[in-house]
């Protein structure tokens, strides 16, 4: 199963810190890790894993028998804006966004 979060307002570098903790774990274990993680990215990652698990359940799979096979985090663009500085100058502020793609894999063999 696959689920995608198109645009999250946090840099990919910070989101990758969270996603590396749940790769290869079963879904209940991954959600338990994310529940107590004091990072801002843990909530959207948990919602994305729950979404992929719900999609798997709709297809007839058991989400408890699935692992997080891969989570890809990539840049989803940069919002550029300017901040006024001293002596009439301006500095650019770059707000980086990230895109996440979760792939789940069933441990049960297909019958």
The pLDDT of residue 107 is 87
Q: Residue 8 and residue 97: Cα distance in Å, rounded?
A: 6
31-88 pLDDT, tens digit per residue, is 999 999 999 999 999 999 999 999 999 998 898 999 999 999 999 999 999 999 999 9
What is the pTM (predicted TM-score) of this model? 0.88
22 has a pLDDT exceeding 90: yes
Domain ranges of the chain: 2-106
CATH number belonging to domain 2-106: 3.90.470.10
């Amino acid at each position: 199963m696959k689920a995608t979060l198109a645009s999250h307002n946090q840099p990919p570098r910070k989101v990758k810190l969270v996603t590396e903790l749940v790769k290869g774990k079963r879904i209940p274990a991954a959600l338990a890790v994310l529940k107590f993680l004091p990072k801002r990215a843990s909530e959207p990652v948990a919602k994305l894993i729950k979404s992929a698990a719900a999609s798997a359940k709709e297809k007839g799979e058991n989400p408890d028998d699935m692992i997080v096979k891969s989570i890809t985090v990539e840049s989803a663009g940069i919002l550029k804006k300017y901040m006024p500085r001293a002596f009439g100058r301006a500095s650019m502020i770059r707000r980086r966004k990230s895109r996440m793609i979760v792939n789940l894999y069933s441990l049960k063999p297909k019958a």
